[in-house]
Amino acid sequence: MKTMGLSRLLLVNPKRFPDDEAVARAAGADEILAQAQVCTSLDVALADTVFACAVSARQRNLGPPAVQARAAASEILAKAGDGDVALLFGNETSGLSNAEVQRCQRTVYIPANPAYSSLNLASAVQLLCYELRLTAFDSAPPVVTKAIPFASPPATNQDIERFYDHLGRVMVSSGFLDPQRPRRLLPKLRRLFGRAELERDEINILRGLLDAVEKQLAGRGGRPGPAGNSGP
């Protein structure tokens, strides 16, 4: 729940509460457990809700309409404008009874392998909370400006053309490319580097390497750094 930004947990007749194992497993999210509200019956837990969804792998006779998790997330968020909404989960062993499911306005199922469709309780909770978070932030996504580390400004067309010239020279001087029979090698490398959308620093590294190779081939030696590309 906490990974997806949810915080309000209600427990209906828990076998043990508080419980040391539960606290240990809650790790950094133990405040959600500490603030959990214990209810003596499902009626009490659902009393103030305007919309409740029972999560169940099985479609029930006489149960409320069944919807997929993703569609349910949209409905739940829409209804949340009107009052409290709830997701109802059964316990790990026996799930929800028909009577409990019938307390709800929807049965929510998680699309799964028909041959093995029952998720662990923890997995089901995680998935539903995830769908709620994604739906909640879908239209107005949280602005995540991931300034990718090391990204540098894009290279200019001129930078790139100079790199291709340089690459072509080394391809010839190394004996790899026969100018009389170029075999479309350079266009193929243009296609590759074009896809990558080269950045300025990357051009500097590539040209530094080409410089170093060129100097070695010319028998001049030297040990240029990555920024050591000698002009156009």
Identify the residue among 23, 34, 78, 213 touching a second copy (CB under 8 A): 213
Which position has the token pair 């530094």?
208
Asked if 65 touches a second copy (CB under 8 A), the answer is yes
- 114-153: which residues touch a second copy (CB under 8 A)? 114, 116-120, 122-123, 126-127, 130, 133-134, 137, 142, 146, 148-150
Q: From residue 213, give the alpha-carbon distance in Å to each of 55, 103, 222.
A: 64, 75, 10
| Minimum gap (Å) between residue 213 Cβ and a second copy | 5
Q: Could you tell me if 4 and 32 are in contact, meaning their C-beta atoms sit under 8 angstroms apart?
A: no
Identify the residue among 33, 76, 108, 110 touching a second copy (CB under 8 A): 110
| Minimum gap (Å) between residue 72 Cβ and a second copy | 13
> What is the distance between the alpha carbons of residues 55 and 91, in angstroms, rounded to a whole number?
11
Asked if 196 touches a second copy (CB under 8 A), the answer is yes
Q: From residue 174, give the alpha-carbon distance in Å to each of 41, 161, 169, 179, 213.
A: 81, 20, 8, 12, 9
Q: Going residue by residue from 164 to 193, which x/- string records binding to a second copy, judged by CB under 8 A?
A: ------xx--xxx-x----xxx-xxx-xxx
- 23-62: which residues touch a second copy (CB under 8 A)? 28-29, 59-62
Q: From residue 22, give the alpha-carbon distance in Å to each of 4, 35, 114.
A: 19, 13, 31
| Minimum gap (Å) between residue 75 Cβ and a second copy | 15
